[in-house]
Amino acid sequence: MNTQELDKKYVLPTYARVDVEFVSGDNARLVDSNGKNYIDFTSGIGVVSVGHANKRVNSAITKQISKLTHTSNLYNIAPQAKAAQKIVDSSGYDMKCFFGNSGAEANEGAIKIARKWGESEGEIKKYKIITLQQSFHGRTITTVKATGQEFMHNYFGPFPDGFVYADDISSVESLLDDHTCAVMIELIQGEGGVQPQDKSEVQLLAKLLKERGILLIVDEVQTGGFRTGKFLASNVYEIEPDIVTLAKGIGGGVPIGVVMTSLKDVLNAGDHGSTFGGNYLCTTAACEVIDILSEYSQSGELEDTIKYFNQALENFYKNNERLFTQKVGIGMMCGLRVNDADTLSAIISNAKNNGVMVLKAGKNTLRFLPPLTITKEEIDEGFKNLEHSVSSL
């Protein structure tokens, strides 16, 4: 059997697979099983932040796994402690970290921290968490319920209580009450359509929550790790949350999830845990990824790449205004609003046939999440391929 046949026979059909199998890669380039080359504007949905087969990450991982891969969190783990230091220092916040394996797990940890804090704050139990209608926070039962997109709640109830959905940032205040422990937001909604929040509204919300004694959780699973130009989108928005969640690009392709918080004493031994979280493999990768991206940022190369990519995207948008209505996003988390769903599907299909991989977000957005280390040559080639992909539409 070939891979496609094995997949159909043995793997649950929870993904609408694109008919392609990649076998190798190099930075923003991929090669499929037929030897065809592609430019990757997806980076594994924002995961492969330092590119495919990054030599420094591969070397660090190889060196580590020749010694130890896993011992459990019952013991001290040097790369875990170093990764926590690098993450906290990069954020600029006074926080501590807990390591899991995914963004959903990081958000579960954030919810548990907020709920335990709410249980111990004052005489009234605080347990409600407000999220936004078009949010996405994960696939576990609790994070599905935290997700404000109603269609995702089908089939899987009953759910944990206590989640309330605001239409937008400006309507959060009207939903706050004595039982609210936290507000949880994405500063740029990824699955909701690459939708940035208004900076002034976010800053007003952060100020209001401080005054009301309610926690602010920022889900940076997709925006964290320099995706927006700074280490966190929270840094771009100039706010300081109580809890931040990270995953995806922090590991550069190795599964990792991080919840970091200024509430350093809320969780005690036994309150939370993860068998694999923060082991030698994933935190060694994270240390190297953060070092690479920090150097890339400090040298000015990241800023130059962001400007070059966004200019190329702007040119593509203007050349094809018959298909698109708006360019959106921040940094290297970008999107183009497409006129209709059928056109969006055709663009993605044609792009794959012409050797460039792009993503869908929400109902009508063509999403771009390239590796942060993508070269100008790779950008040029990718948009040249995209132009061919839309020329007949």
- Quick one: average pLDDT of 46-65? 98
Q: Give the pLDDT score at 354.
A: 97
Please say if the pLDDT value at position 371 is more than 80. Answer: yes
**pLDDT tens-digit map of 289-318:** 999 999 999 999 999 999 999 999 999 999
Q: Give the pLDDT score at 191.
A: 87
**pLDDT tens-digit map of 121-132:** 778 899 999 999
Name the packing angle between helices 301-319 and 280-298 (round to 10°). Answer: 80
Q: Thinking of the domain 68-298, which architecture would CATH place it in?
A: 3-Layer(aba) Sandwich (3.40)
Q: Would you tell me which CATH number, out of the four given (3.40.190.10, 3.90.1150.10, 3.40.50.11540, 3.40.50.200), belongs to the domain 3-53+299-390?
A: 3.90.1150.10
- Quick one: average pLDDT of 72-84? 97
Confidence at 244, pLDDT banded by 50, 70, 90: very high
How far is residue 341's CA from residue 346's CA, in Å, rounded to a whole number?
9
- Quick one: average pLDDT of 202-221? 98
Q: Give the pLDDT score at 22.
A: 97
**pLDDT tens-digit map of 187-199:** 999 988 999 999 9
Q: Give the pLDDT score at 135.
A: 95
Q: Give the pLDDT score at 123.
A: 80
Q: Give the pLDDT score at 239.
A: 98
**pLDDT tens-digit map of 151-187:** 989 999 899 999 999 999 999 999 999 999 999 999 9
**Structural domain boundaries of the chain?**
3-53+299-390, 68-298
Three-state secondary structure of 91-140: HCCCCEEEEECCHHHHHHHHHHHHHHHHHHCCCCCCCEEEEECCCCCCCC
- Cβ–Cβ under 8 Å, residues 243 and 182: yes
What does the block give as tokens for 382?
């990718």
Q: Give the pLDDT score at 202.
A: 98
- Quick one: average pLDDT of 226-234? 98
**pLDDT tens-digit map of 32-41:** 999 999 999 9
